[in-house]
């Protein structure tokens, strides 16, 4: 599974970091980044961790995407 972030859609609400702190962090301006990773997409092993799925579901602007390819 691929997890992609779109910082241009991020409103810096903090929900993704609250739900999945092992995956998400923020830049100084509050926009989302992957923790310890400069990429905008990462490969995630299945089954998806519940924390990552919760972050995806709660993002109000859909700045987090999950896809199979």
Chain centroid to Cα 31, Å, comes to 11
Q: 4 to each of 61, 62, how far by Cα in Å?
A: 13, 10
Query: Is 1:44 a contact under the CB 8 Å cutoff?
Result: yes
Query: Which residues contact residue 18 at a Cβ distance below 8 angstroms, ignoring those fewer than 6 apart?
Result: none
Rounded to whole angstroms, how far apart are CA atoms 16 and 9? 13
pLDDT in tens, the chain (69 residues): 999 999 999 999 999 999 999 999 998 888 999 999 889 999 999 999 999 999 999 999 999 999 997
In total, how many domains does the chain have? 1
CATH number at residue 60: 3.30.70.20
Cβ atoms < 10 Å from Cβ of 40? 13
Domain containing 53 equals: 2-67
């Amino acid at each position: 599974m691929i997890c992609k972030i779109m910082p241009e859609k991020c409103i810096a609400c903090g929900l993704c970091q609250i739900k999945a702190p092992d995956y998400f962090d923020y830049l100084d301006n509050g926009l989302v980044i992957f923790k310890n990773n400069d990429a905008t997409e990462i490969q995630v092993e299945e089954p998806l961790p519940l924390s990552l799925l919760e972050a995806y579901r709660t993002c109000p602007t859909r700045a987090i995407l999950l896809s199979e390819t």
